[in-house]
């Protein structure tokens, strides 16, 4: 009898604790069949390539498939504690993947992180909200979500940002690491990433973010990062090293956004900066023309002309203490630096402006159609066109078909977004057709 009472008391304690701390498993899983083409320019060895049909489990619409765990606890007096743990996932093989850091197949990384997108804890109240850890940059939220990504294919909005340069999407921002090989991010022999802290865009590690309460509908977000971090008891603030083994001061990242509305028009403005690498500004406006038609216009300017010089290919002489020459952590990752690709030379950062327009039209309660167009002002101008239709099978499940075409070295598909090339007269034109199914939970 006493054992039963003890068991019942334990169950009651667990139940009461669960009630105080609400935990939710959530996500969006998406799979699609695509057909991709590259035309009018050589890719490798003077050959043009037709890709053909392929299976895409990364998530062209949701950009990418992801799942996570989030929870909150009421602390009383209007205060609440919360956490989020989220990872991107590919349905091709079930691996952590695009849209964050550390996944085995993510661009330019491979740290094997469990939660590749967000891992943060926070506290909120009448004063606003503070969050700590790896998290989505508010600048990215403004340019992707605010600019209409919730209505259309995420592949258009992500690739549209990349048209202003990889820095515009916070790509190629690396955190601190005390690594082998003189602190270089890549192993000179295998090319494997050594860095303990790194990210390839959107999700910022070692970050502190503040979101203000709404003032007459206006919300301010501010994010900054520390100069280093700690993992498994190792504290590092040295950062990435250059060819001479000296620290490269590129650790600091800041982002600020302001969103609200002016009459019926939703508006947003953003600024981001990575020290000695780039700074970006952006603006968007969203107008509900009718109850069925919404139009969004945006502008992004990204300046990488003050980027610290980089050495292409292998660095020589070798960093002290290592027999072999080291691989430059920027030049070793094709396309991760916004550079002039006419000659393939790294270290020639560009200043690029780009504009876009997006429209979503609701044909019925279940069916909607989307159109997007973007272009930039590089010498070899890039353009991106997107047409899509979405059909809601339920509140949580939908199917879609999309077509995208890109020119001037831009990329049409989400999966090939690392292949952007700038100011290359021989750059490929690409097109991509997708038919997919997505389920949110």
For 4, list phi and psi in degrees, rounded to 5: -65, -40
16: helix, strand or coil: helix
Q: Can you tell me the mean pLDDT for 73-92?
A: 92
| Partners of residue 403 on adjacent β-strands | 387, 433
272: helix, strand or coil: strand
| Tokens encoding 203 | 């999700």
**What are the sequence ranges of the domains in the chain?**
25-440
Q: Please state which of the ranges 6-10, 217-221, 224-228 shows the lowest mean pLDDT.
A: 6-10
User: Which residues, 6 or more positions from 316, have their beta carbon under 8 angstroms from its beta carbon?
Assistant: 243, 325
Q: What is the pLDDT of residue 292?
A: 96
Is residue 8 scored above 50 in pLDDT? Answer: no
Q: What is the pLDDT of residue 183?
A: 32
Q: Can you tell me the mean pLDDT for 76-103?
A: 80
Q: What is the pLDDT of residue 40?
A: 59
Q: What is the pLDDT of residue 384?
A: 96
pLDDT, tens digit, 9 for 90 and up, residues 288-321: 999 999 999 999 999 887 765 543 332 223 333 3
Q: Can you tell me the mean pLDDT for 395-422?
A: 88
Q: What is the pLDDT of residue 308?
A: 59
Q: What is the pLDDT of residue 90?
A: 82
Q: Please state which of the ranges 221-225, 331-335, 372-376 shows the lowest mean pLDDT.
A: 331-335
Q: What is the pLDDT of residue 83?
A: 97
Q: What is the pLDDT of residue 414?
A: 84
**pLDDT level of residue 2 (50, 70, 90 thresholds):** low
Pair 276, 287: CB distance under 8 Å: no
Q: What is the pLDDT of residue 297?
A: 95
Separation CA 99–CA 121 (nearest Å): 20
Q: What is the pLDDT of residue 342?
A: 46
Q: What is the pLDDT of residue 208?
A: 95
Pair 269, 282: CB distance under 8 Å: yes
Q: What is the pLDDT of residue 182?
A: 32
Q: What is the DSSP letter of 145?
A: I
pLDDT, tens digit, 9 for 90 and up, residues 177-220: 333 333 333 333 333 333 333 334 688 888 999 999 999 999 99
Strands (E), 169-306: 203-211, 219-225, 229-231, 234-236, 253-262, 265-274, 278-288, 293-303
Greater confidence, 50 or 241? 50
| Partners of residue 67 on adjacent β-strands | 27, 87
How high is the mean pLDDT of the chain? 74
Is residue 96 scored above 60 in pLDDT? Answer: yes
Q: What is the pLDDT of residue 285?
A: 95
Which class would CATH give 25-440?
Answer: mainly beta
Q: Residue 87: count other Cβ atoms within 10 Å of its Cβ.
A: 25
**Nearest CA-CA partner of 380 in 337, 323, 422, 347:** 422
Q: Please tell me the pTM assigned to this model.
A: 0.77
pLDDT, tens digit, 9 for 90 and up, residues 107-146: 333 445 678 889 999 999 999 999 999 899 999 888 877 7
Q: What is the pLDDT of residue 131?
A: 98
Q: What is the pLDDT of residue 14?
A: 41
Helices and strands counted in the chain (H then E): 3, 21
């Amino acid at each position: 009898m006493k054992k039963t009472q003890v068991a019942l008391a334990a169950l009651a304690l667990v139940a009461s604790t669960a009630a105080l701390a609400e935990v939710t498993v959530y996500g969006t899983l998406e799979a699609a069949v695509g057909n991709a083409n590259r035309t009018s320019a050589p890719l490798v060895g003077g050959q043009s390539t037709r890709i053909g049909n392929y299976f895409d489990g990364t998530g062209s619409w949701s950009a990418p498939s992801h799942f996570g765990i989030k929870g909150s606890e009421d602390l009383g007096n209007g205060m609440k504690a919360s956490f989020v743990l989220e990872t991107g996932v590919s349905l091709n093989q079930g691996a952590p993947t695009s849209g964050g850091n550390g996944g085995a197949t993510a661009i330019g990384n491979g740290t094997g992180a469990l939660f590749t997108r967000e891992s943060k804890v926070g506290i909120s109240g009448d004063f606003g909200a503070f969050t700590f850890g790896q998290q989505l940059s508010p600048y990215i939220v403004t340019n992707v979500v605010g600019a209409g990504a919730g209505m259309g294919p995420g592949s258009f909005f992500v690739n549209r940002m990349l048209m202003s340069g990889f820095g515009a999407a916070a790509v190629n921002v690396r955190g601190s690491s005390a690594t082998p090989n003189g602190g270089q991010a890549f192993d000179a022999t295998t090319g494997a990433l050594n860095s303990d802290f790194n990210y390839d865009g959107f999700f910022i590690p070692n970050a502190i973010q503040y979101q203000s309460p709404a003032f007459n509908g206006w919300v301010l977000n501010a994010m900054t990062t520390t100069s280093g971090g700690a993992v498994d008891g190792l504290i590092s603030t040295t950062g990435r090293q250059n060819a001479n083994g000296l620290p490269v001061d590129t650790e600091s990242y800041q982002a600020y956004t302001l969103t609200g509305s002016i009459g019926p028009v939703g508006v947003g403005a953003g600024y981001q900066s990575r020290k000695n690498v780039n700074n970006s500004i952006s603006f968007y406006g969203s107008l509900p023309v009718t109850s069925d038609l919404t139009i969004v216009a945006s502008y992004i300017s990204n300046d990488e002309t003050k980027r610290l010089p980089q050495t292409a290919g292998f660095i020589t002489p070798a960093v002290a203490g290592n027999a072999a020459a080291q691989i430059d952590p920027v030049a070793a990752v094709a396309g991760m630096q916004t550079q002039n690709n006419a000659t393939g030379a790294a270290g020639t950062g560009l200043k690029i402006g780009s504009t876009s327009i997006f429209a979503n039209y609701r044909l019925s309660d279940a069916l909607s159609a989307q159109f997007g167009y973007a272009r930039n002002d590089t010498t070899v101008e890039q353009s991106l066109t997107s047409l899509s239709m979405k059909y809601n099978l339920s509140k949580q499940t939908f199917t879609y078909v999309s077509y995208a075409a890109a020119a001037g070295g831009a990329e049409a598909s989400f999966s090939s977004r690392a292949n952007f090339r700038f100011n290359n007269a021989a750059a490929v034109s690409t097109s991509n057709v997708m038919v997919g199914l997505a389920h949110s939970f």
